Amino acid sequence: MLRKTFAVLAVLTFAATSQAAIIISSASAPTVGRADLSTWTLTATSNDAADIVGFDFASLPAYGFTGAMNQVNPAGSATIFQDANGFFGFVPGADVSQDSQFKFNSANLTVPSGFASESNTSLRAVFASGSSLGKVVPFVQLAIPNALAGTVAYVGTVTVNTNGVFSDVPVTGIVGGPSIPEPASLALVGLACAGLGGLRRRK
């Protein structure tokens, strides 16, 4: 049961060649066995014409998820992706929801060497699929201390395929707290309000 859900308008950016738009939403649930954590899942949603095919949260120094997050490494295995999730059952008290990871198995993706890493303050990777991942894609989970909610920031791009045209759509935001719309989003809200006001005056 989701404890709370925030629709975070992380970006509404139109790519020059494809008119692709990506919205990032986030939802939290209690972390199994850890009352001090909440597990946040981020979902990327494209417009109707674009298929999501990849994510870049590592190719530039500023890219990635940055802030306090929990990591679990069963048997010393990296858990940047879901590859080691089958080992969590062998660690007393461990549960997959306690780990910060991208929600894919790397065997099904192309992951450039040297572009995937994790720590208790960072999660970074570049990866892509040879086929569509979908139009609504839960792509990462973050186990964030409740006391530090709202302190994990992210910067990156989502790669989309719009009728054979590929483009990278920038995304940025904060996970774990009330959403703060970006200036571009605030401008869109302002225009909408102004339009409603005009309609009322004409009536």
Burial class (CB in 10 A: 0-12, 13-18, 19+), 197: exposed
What are the angstrom distances between the C-alpha of 71 and each of 88, 128, 143?
12, 23, 8
**Model confidence over 122-134: pLDDT tens digits?**
999 999 999 999 9
Q: What span, in angstroms and rounded, lies between the C-alpha atoms of 159 and 20?
A: 10
Let me know: does 128 contact 51? Beta carbons within 8 Å: no
> What is residue 177's predicted lDDT score, i.e. its pLDDT?
65
> What is residue 144's predicted lDDT score, i.e. its pLDDT?
97
Q: Which of 88-97, 163-172, 176-185 has the lowest mean pLDDT?
A: 176-185
> What is residue 79's predicted lDDT score, i.e. its pLDDT?
96
Confidence of residue 24 (pLDDT cuts 50, 70, 90): very high
> Per-residue pLDDT averaged across 98-105, rounded?
98
> What is residue 54's predicted lDDT score, i.e. its pLDDT?
98
Which pTM was predicted?
Answer: 0.79
Report which listed range, 12-16, 95-99, 199-203, is most confident: 95-99
> What is residue 180's predicted lDDT score, i.e. its pLDDT?
44
> What is residue 91's predicted lDDT score, i.e. its pLDDT?
87
Confidence of residue 203 (pLDDT cuts 50, 70, 90): very low
> Per-residue pLDDT averaged across 93-113, rounded?
97
**Model confidence over 28-80: pLDDT tens digits?**
999 999 999 999 999 999 987 899 999 999 999 999 999 999 999 998 889 99
